Chains A and B, each alone.
Chain A
């Protein structure tokens, strides 16, 4: 009975993240447009884009290999599985034990690995530029992320995201220096990982500074739809992760009743909206960086997270 209930909630979670992620992207775009005093596209525009792309033919470059056609599915699957293991409105996900936070990060790493390969597959200069910059960014963002995981795991005594979120929600921890450092580093990493300004510009095409968009330049039709959906899922994943770790209020406990679940869903949506607004404000307020300023930005994230871990090794109370 409990198993069936948990199974249903796990399924709901998988569908929920899939359904909500384009909305979050649309919301961020809308807020950004309003901040620039533009009307902006409607909230549902990302859904329409996805449907339109799905229906279109794929135009495949002549030099593309079988791998190029498989990669969108791998990237999508990896990101989706990772996103469905991050607690959203209810803690204690059924399959949370099958992959802890380190494995979730590594799953996203797999997705990126294959996407970078896709950038190289057709053999164009734009694809190469995107891939080589993406792996450079990842080479700093991933260790920073792992050090953040270390910090959180040392505080919560677990690397299981559901357990961590439960621990954070229990209120056993007050304000801690290391947590503060970790949240700053996590936000910096999340901005880089999701190819947002100031690291990369999600709205650009044909610009020598683009990274993610250059990598997926050769994709079209359903393949592009899947890649776009994966990016949207990844944004949702990071917002949910920050929300469940640092603002764990309202998340329903595994044995919660219907009322708590409603509270969970509403608070989750509120957190997503807050995250979207903050992201949009941040992106509007800041200019994009030169590519070779990015290492300094991410290096700072790495140092902050390393410092947070060191503090925990040295003292249990910091």
Chain B
């Protein structure tokens, strides 16, 4: 199986030079995206087969990379699951791009990197030794960086690319050190060897921190998220979907692989770190998202929130695992991984929707949109499905994974450590808060872009997007519903992963009558998305039918009522900023130091009154700005080295040589 998957990855790699060769031709985008679609779809099927077939694939060793090591590739349950996430997302993005990519103005900047990026993400998941993992990881970073700066002349994209490159290199550095520590002085880079060696407690703690920093910076864990809302929106929309929906999941894979698999049995305090970070990330991510009025940036910030939810699940799993509560650990891990899958689906869907809007109007700013539901009814419908799913509302899939996480939290009073007893309820409150705020956030996102009256002529004249883009979005929307009403299938599919990482799995779900899911015991909790969906649909339809038949079905159109004072100007509608104002006032005054400055002209003056809102990103100000200032200062000082005379350079070289020889001698 591994070999077939590698053929697929090789095919993706081969597409990159093909794209360069084809770049001049008009059919290039169709060919490249079509081929990507075929390959990723095939890879998805292979991955599903290896996950369900309880994979026991031997490693494939290729004579690449380090000469004494070779490149190891292997599919186990964990990598099979993430292969599904990567390739399903890749297939949907390729299908979307078949239509979306036609509008690309500079296809030669996007097409060669796109298949290489897909291939790199696949390789990260497939790698079975530290060296190939890191090479693939860095390759993934670089190809995505190239895609971020594809439109480098627009707006702030160059800065976004710069920040991204810095953060990505920093993350890789942390992982490099982490793997170095795990491999030990003899350089046992193969994962098998790392797994067999048990690091001391101190070393393991260091590796954990490095893994959190390395993988967390790629996933967007607060406070390492700074690059994410800059870089994700800058890329073309199908790539944004891949970065937000899929690449953050590859980072989660990296974290899970190191912490659950390679590092050996966990200490209880590890979970404290992960849980605290997860809780803060979830709440901060959604608050940041609420303050945005750029649709794609809002979605990117919202990825941060979902990463937080995933890390809460993983943190709980770590806590239960450390205390030997295998069933609870299986529940928490399944919740986290199910959310990985769900988020990859609906976040891709939402980014596609944002891309379709961007294509139709040329606008990402919600304050210039509005009323698109009339012009783009189908996009509006699928976008709405995505919004409902991501807001964790039943009967769609986002709710199921959050529900499972809540169930895991409800098992945690049994944890003996006092730190966790205080932390877990707080994290639960943060999770509940972020779920409620997420709904607010997506009322805003959908309401401002698609509802109301068009705020600009471009929004008023938008055209419905093309067929293949719609097909991709409908496909993902259907998956949201299927995973929401039949979660048992997905939970069962995750059983091998959970068995491999925490020794046991959740009870088998598909056999339970009426397709209910019962995480622990029937008396304790159960949920049936299918029945909820059927009930809601039935009672809604019966109500509609009865009222139309028995009471009245007449309908007249008239001007809006608005308490008798309707204003014809669309500028009098609520905007994204005014919608978020109450929430900004409640939460933002401390977290963002939000200040509203009203300028009221004196009576008789003809200047308009203005209201400006100032928000400060405290994390940026406290962490990144001093760092940047320090680096700037240091480079300024070191700059003199550039203007020395040849004699001084020679002295420096000589001095360095002597120093090195001394070091060697000692």
Residues of A in contact with B (beta carbons under 8 Å apart): 51, 54-67, 73-74, 76-78, 80-81, 95, 97-100, 102-103, 106-107, 109-110, 112-113, 116-117, 119-129, 131-133, 135-136, 138-143, 146-147, 150, 153-154, 157-160, 163, 205-206, 217-218, 220-222, 225-226, 291-292, 295, 302, 306, 309-310, 312-314, 316
Contacts of A97 in B (CB 8 A): 516, 522, 526, 528
Instruction: Choose from A102, A117, A310 the contact partner of B422 (Cβ within 8 Å).
Output: A310
The answer on a CB contact under 8 Å between B544 and A73 is: yes
Please name all residues of chain A whose beta carbon is closer than 8 Å to the beta carbon of B523 when the two chains form the complex.
Answer: 157-158, 160, 163
Residues of A within 8 Å of B613, CB to CB, are none
22 pairs, A vs B, C-beta closer than 8 Å: A55-B552, A58-B556, A59-B561, A76-B540, A76-B543, A81-B539, A98-B526, A98-B528, A103-B399, A107-B394, A113-B388, A120-B447, A123-B573, A124-B562, A131-B574, A131-B579, A139-B440, A159-B410, A160-B523, A226-B547, A295-B586, A306-B425
Residues of A within 8 A of B429 (CB): 143, 146-147, 302, 306, 309
B490 interface residue (CB < 8 Å to A): no
Does A150 lie within 8 Å of B428, measured CB to CB?
yes
Q: Give the residue of A100, A124, A313 whose beta carbon is less than 8 angstroms from that of B413.
A: A313
Q: Residues of A contacting B583 with CB < 8 Å?
A: 132, 135-136, 139
Contact of A67 among B432, B436, B448, B451 (CB under 8 A): B451
Q: Tell me whether B139 is interfacial, beta carbon within 8 Å.
A: no
Which residues of chain A are near B409, meaning CB under 8 Å? 150
- Residue with the highest number of chain B CB atoms closer than 10 Å, among A54, A62, A146: A146
The 9 closest A-B pairs by CB, nearest first: A128-B574, A123-B452, A77-B540, A120-B447, A142-B436, A135-B440, A54-B551, A136-B582, A143-B432
| B592 at interface by CB-CB < 8 Å | no
Residue of B nearest to A311 (CB): B425
Residue of B nearest to A167 (CB): B523
List B residues 372-420 near A (Cβ within 8 Å): 373-374, 377, 380, 384, 388, 391-394, 399, 403, 406-407, 409-410, 412-413
Q: A59-B556, A59-B558, A65-B373 are in contact. Are A143 and B540 (CB under 8 A)?
A: no
Q: Contact between A126 and B547 (Cβ–Cβ < 8 Å)? A: no
Instruction: Please state if A77 and B537 are interface contacts (CB–CB under 8 Å).
Output: yes
Q: Are B410 and A132 in contact (CB under 8 A)?
A: no
Distance A64 CA – B547 CA, assembled complex (angstroms): 20
Q: State how many angstroms separate the Cβ of B457 from the closest Cβ of chain A.
A: 16
Interface: B93 (CB within 8 A):
no
Interface of A is mostly: helix
Q: Are B453 and A63 in contact (CB under 8 A)?
A: yes
The interface residues of chain A lying within 8 Å CB-to-CB of B45 are none
- Which residues of chain A are near B551, meaning CB under 8 Å? 51, 54-55, 222
Q: Cβ of A135 and Cβ of B394 under 8 Å apart?
A: no
Instruction: Enumerate B515-570 residues with CB–CB distance to A below 8 Å.
Output: 516, 522-528, 531-532, 535-541, 543-544, 547, 551-552, 554-564, 566-567, 570
- Complex CA gap A157/B523 in Å reads 8
Judge whether B49 is part of the interface by a CB distance below 8 angstroms: no
| CB <8 Å contact, A160 and B573 | no
A291 touches B582 (CB 8 A): yes
A-chain residues with CB within 8 Å of residue B406 when the two chains form the complex: 102, 146, 150, 159
B68 contacts partner chain A, Cβ-Cβ < 8 Å: no
Complex Cα distance, B452 from A67, in Å, reads 11
Q: How far does the alpha carbon of A313 sit from the alpha carbon of B570 in the complex, in Å? A: 52
Please pick, from B393, B437, B564, B566, the residue contacting A139 in the complex, using a CB distance under 8 A: B437
CB-CB under 8 A for A62 and B447, given A67-B384, A139-B583: no
Closest approach, in angstroms, between the C-beta of B449 and any C-beta of chain A?
10
Assuming the contacts A120-B574, A131-B447, A136-B583, asked whether A109 and B393 have C-beta atoms less than 8 A apart, the reply is yes
B562 CB, nearest partner CB in chain A, Å: 4
> Quick check: A100 and B394 within 8 Å, CB to CB?
no
| B612 close to A (CB within 8 Å) | no
Residues of A near B544 (CB, < 8 A) are 73
Please name all residues of chain B whose beta carbon is closer than 8 Å to the beta carbon of A217 when the two chains form the complex: 561-563
Interfacial chain A residues near B421, Cβ < 8 Å: 313-314
Q: Are A125 and B447 in contact (CB under 8 A)?
A: no
Known: A136-B582, A226-B543. A221 touches B552 (CB 8 A): yes
B451 surroundings in chain A (CB, below 8 A): 65, 67, 117, 120-121, 123
Question: Is B273 engaged at the interface, CB distance under 8 Å to the other chain?
Answer: no
What separation, in Å, do the CA atoms of A247 and B532 have in the docked complex? 28
Known: A54-B552, A67-B384, A139-B437. A129 touches B540 (CB 8 A): no
Q: Which residue of B lies closest to A214 (CB)?
A: B563
Check B447 against A116 for contact (C-beta < 8 Å).
yes
Q: In the complex, A218 Cα to B394 Cα: how many Å?
A: 26
In the bound complex, how far is the Cα of B444 from the Cα of A138, in angstroms? 14
Q: Decide: B452 and A121 in contact? CB cutoff 8 A.
A: yes
Q: Are the C-beta atoms of B561 and A61 separated by less than 8 Å?
A: yes
Bound-state Cα–Cα, A129 to B373, Å: 21
Q: How far is the CB of B298 from chain A (nearest CB, A)?
A: 14
Partner of B452, one of A110, A120, A150, A226: A120
Question: Which A residues are CB-close (under 8 A) to B558?
Answer: 59-62
B18 within 8 A of A: no
Among candidates B371, B540, B552, residue contacting A57 with C-beta atoms closer than 8 Å: B552
Cα distance A160–B522 in the bound complex, in angstroms = 9
Residues of the B chain whose Cβ atoms lie less than 8 Å from the Cβ of A146: 406, 428-429, 432, 435
How distant is the Cα of A143 from the Cα of B432 in the complex, in angstroms?
5
